[in-house]
Structure 1
Amino acid sequence: MPSPLWEDLSEFFDPDEFAIEATIIRDNKIIGRVLGIFDDPTDRKEIGDYTLSEDGPRFLSPEDNALNAKTRDEVQIGRTRYDVVHNAVKNGTGLVVIELAEGATPHVAV
């Protein structure tokens, strides 16, 4: 289901604002490039007295851009490659979440 018409998230997915480009890689071949928001688990979020700590890195992107990310693919953000832990999951707002884990083996940036 797409996001509500009154909710324009395009500003978040603008590379001049918040978004960054990620490259989706399958079998060492680039299958796509998507814009989204990378959530780094080492960044702690503080909301008043509450601190949120996430389990692992994740990438949030519009549904139509990132649904092709599958388990065992890799996502390269900057010079770092991450393993895709689960297939991209719709979150019900027109966005998908790709759960990531830092790869166990070093990779050469593409």
Structure 2
Amino acid sequence: MPAPAWEDLDAFLDEGEFATAVTVTREDGVVLDFSGIYEDQYLDTQLGEYRMDTERPRVWCKQSDVPGVQRRDTCTVGGTTYDVMTEPQGDGTGMAMLDLAVRPDAGF
């Protein structure tokens, strides 16, 4: 089924609006440059005595911009390089999420 006429993902991912430049380097050396929406959610939850307190960086992008991306590739956003933690997770609208993790050598 084609996307609705009102749904223009390129307009949604305009770097002058919400999006930012993203670079993914696959393990095979292929470099992918595209626009994406970066989020760095903060998770703070507690179950009984166990407490999880962590960040969850991720990038939303067009699914067609991330062919062959998989775990262990790298993703650079705003000068910071992250490890890609999962294959792109499509949402059925042509968008996909890349789950990221701060690299141990990032110096934070």
The alignment's TM-score, normalised by the length of structure 2, stands at 0.75
Mean Cα displacement is larger for which, 58-67 or 23-32?
23-32
Measured after TM superposition, the shift of residue 99 of structure 1 is 0.3
Counterpart residue number, 2:7: 7
Gaps of 5+ in 1: 43-53
Equivalent position of 1:85 in the other structure? 85
| Distance in 2 (alpha carbons) for counterparts of 1:93 and 1:7 | 9
Q: What secondary structure does 1:105 align onto? A: helix
Q: Distance in 1 between matches of 2:74 and 2:86?
A: 11
**Greater percentage in helix:** 2
Aligned residues: 97
Gaps spanning 5+ residues in structure 2: where?
43-53
Question: Identity of counterpart residues, as a percentage?
Answer: 32
* Residue matched to 1:97: 97
Helix, strand or coil: the match of 1:21? Answer: strand
Tell me how far apart the structure 2 counterparts of residues 92 and 83 of structure 1 sit (CA, whole Å): 24
Q: Which runs of 4+ in 1 moved over 3 A?
A: 27-30
> Cα gap change, 1:63/1:18 in structure 2, threshold over 3 Å: closer, same or farther?
same
Q: 1:69 to 1:5 in 2, by over 3 A?
A: same
- 2:62 corresponds to which residue? 62
Q: How far 1:3 moved relative to its partner?
A: 3.6
Root mean square deviation, CA, Å: 2.6
Distance 2:99 2:78 in 1: 17
